[in-house]
A and B are shown apart, each in its own frame.
Chain A
Amino acid sequence: MKKAIPAYLDSVSNAAITCRGKQLASLLSLSDAHVNTLLEHNAQSANLVETARTKLNYPWDDILLLHVEIVRAQHQGDLQQAYEDQKELVQSFQRAINSYDKWCLPFLYAINKDLRDLAVEADVQQANDKKENKNLEEAANVMSKSFTSCITDRSLDRAKSRKWGTYHISNLLFKTYFKIKSQNLCRNVLKAIRVNDLPPLESYPKADRVTFRYYLGRLYFLEEQYIKAEQELSLAFLECSTRSSRNKQLILHYLLPVRIYLGKLPTRKLLNRYPSISALYSPLVSAIREGNVRAFDVAMESGYAHLIDRGTFLTIEKARSMVIRTLCRRVYSIMNTTRISMETFKQALEFAGLEVDMEEVECMLAVLIFKGYIKGYLSHEKQFVVLSAKDPFPIPSSVVVT
């Protein structure tokens, strides 16, 4: 029984000496099976310290001792303490990191991830105790130093540089900044990436690439740079493995609103592949396709909470013009003439379930012309719409959105 702990210390020492990053990461992460072994054996403090200092070199002795404390604290529910110790662990490693190259990255990822997770848990506990909960903010600061230690690695051997950890840590940071609602801090990360000489994104692991593009897409989305957002989110979606259904859906929750805004509707096939996506977006997409304004409004109301939570409601709302455009196009194909009275459009809108007075109808038509969805002009005195003979209703996706 007593042999388990020394054996564990030996494997840590081994992994460090032979530069096996993944091995080291498991041995010192909080989600590995060895955690149970540590708890079972309840190593006596004094003994453990002595043994650790004998078997392990700097910084692994400190790191290991902290790790054991953290495991214990977490198990006992003292999350604030666990978090503080994990913070010290990360900082200890950061002080020594210049001696380690690419091999240490899996370990760096693991300790930062644990730091973040503990910060979140500690914050929840603090909030329940009605105390201040700024752990995640602080953790972000610490993680940011890990980012710096990756991106500023000036070692000449590119293949072994810590630069290969840049995007992975960036993604951890983005996830954190989004959670603490400080998305503007992502800017510093992006700036650093642009300024420093890194290998191209395409040569990084696919997982890093997909996640990075996802967050970049979301940032462009927040700034209403929809064309750029679509580019990044599409690439992320394409590359994202079909086995990661959850990730695919996460991307879709932003990709679909962007595409809808740009006039590109998803196929029924795509929607049907993901039931939760379909539940939320199918009614909207159908309404837009048919030009059914009432159905669109109903769908927006029922999806309100979900869409507001993701911050996509305001974007999809803009697609209402497109719905009215399609309704008008249907009127045109029924009337089959380029001169149509405004009264006709009013009737169509009322038939579709809207209550509108004539001035509002004129306003809607004027807006469609202004946005480029209808080519033609209005005559207020004659109360007529005069449509262009050629292509009076251009395809929405070809219309440049203002």
Chain B
Amino acid sequence: MRRREARLQRFKNTNNVKRSPAPSPATPATPNPDVMDWDEYTIVGTSSQLEKQYLRLTSAPDPASVRPLPVLRKTLELIKQKWEKEHNYTYMCDQFKSMRQDLTVQRIQNDFTVHVYETHARIALEMGDLGEYNQCQTQLKDLYSKGIAGETMEFLAYRILYMLHTQNRSALNAIMAEIKGTHANDKAVQHALQVRSSLATSNYHRFFLLYKETPNMGNYLIHQFIERERIYALRTMCKAYRPSIDIEFIRKELAFETTQDLHKFLEKLKISGTLDDQNLDARNALPGLNDLAKQFAKVDINRSATV
């Protein structure tokens, strides 16, 4: 009874909507379909300056410094061109963050927003910036769930590959529950699922074959854990093969482009045992590989539920 009365009260005074004070809106009277939760306090920017440095907001922004959607579209094109030419990651990241900020304060959530996050995510992947990639991936997951169009399959595949890097079993199980047959047909997702299953069954042969044909930017994610998988695979081979293993065979199995690359890998990890340029002494190499493999054993006390 009391709650119904409270509800009636609310509708009596529409002016009593609780919102943090914003500058008096110079907004059009018609709602904007690109903006979710539009109300008369939504900001519409008026700046026409394409590039803008990112500054953390401490109060409501001045619309004169915020770029409206048409301007942002031009900004994105400019940034993309500059990236191709200059490859200045710091600059580019900064520009993307300020674009994202302008989109957020104007509450614009549409396919352009998705496009901005997707582009930023791809570049972050290329540069190995997993922190930034994760931020974008989180936003994208939210935007996709609202039904906004984008490269959902491409990024689902990235999510799967990312789980393989972190070896977060429960998160992986959760994704697989999400997929359950619905997105099974997409090539990128198929590929990621096959990578998952080959790792789960310790099928290094299939894993490295799949690695050579990864769609989109997936390889940047696989690179995050490829050394780990090479160590595991080589360790297995050294346990099983006697007395030695052909270097060329190892090179092919572990998907090294050239023999030099393989030698560099062995040297860097201080794996002893190259008898000559043709063979690896399996028995000699094994102890070193066992030690290396230990560093990947998962011990996460903080995530543990038992004590």
Which residues of B, 249-267, contact A by the 8 Å Cβ criterion? 249, 252-253
Whole-angstrom distance from the CB of B289 to the nearest CB of chain A? 11
A380: chain B residues at CB < 8 Å are 241, 245-246, 249
* Any A CB within 8 A of the CB of B146: no
Interface of A is mostly: helix
* Any A CB within 8 A of the CB of B303: yes
Closest to A189 in B: B305
CB pair A183 B242 closer than 8 Å: no
CB pair A314 B200 closer than 8 Å: yes
Closest to B246 in A: A380
* Any A CB within 8 A of the CB of B237: yes
Which residues of B, 216-243, contact A by the 8 Å Cβ criterion? 235-237, 239-242
Of the four ranges (under 10, 10 to 19, 20 to 34, 35 or more), the interface on chain B belongs to 20 to 34
A239: chain B residues at CB < 8 Å are none
CB pair A81 B305 closer than 8 Å: no
CB pair A366 B206 closer than 8 Å: no
CB pair A378 B3 closer than 8 Å: no
* Any A CB within 8 A of the CB of B177: yes
Whole-angstrom distance from the CB of A55 to the nearest CB of chain B? 26
CB pair A223 B305 closer than 8 Å: yes
Which residues of A, 182-240, contact B by the 8 Å Cβ criterion? 183-187, 190-191, 194, 216, 219-220, 222-225, 228
Contacts known (A224-B169, A369-B240); A304 close to B306, Cβ less than 8 A: no
Report the separation of the CA atoms of residues A112 and B172 in the bound assembly, to the nearest whole angstrom: 33
Contacts known (A314-B173, A367-B202); A216 close to B245, Cβ less than 8 A: no
* 0 or 1 for each of B197-209: is its CB under 8 Å from A? (1 = yes): 1001111111000
CB pair B307 A311 closer than 8 Å: no
CB pair A184 B305 closer than 8 Å: yes
CB pair A308 B305 closer than 8 Å: no
* Any A CB within 8 A of the CB of B9: no
Which residues of B, 161-196, contact A by the 8 Å Cβ criterion? 169-170, 172-173, 176-177, 180-181
Closest to B179 in A: A308
* Any B CB within 8 A of the CB of A364: yes
* Any A CB within 8 A of the CB of B304: yes
* Any B CB within 8 A of the CB of A132: no
Closest to A367 in B: B202
B204: chain A residues at CB < 8 Å are 363, 367
Whole-angstrom distance from the CB of A381 to the nearest CB of chain B? 7
The 15 sampled A-B contact pairs (Cβ below 8 Å) are A187-B307, A219-B305, A223-B305, A224-B169, A225-B306, A305-B181, A313-B176, A314-B173, A360-B205, A362-B205, A366-B239, A367-B240, A370-B202, A370-B236, A379-B242
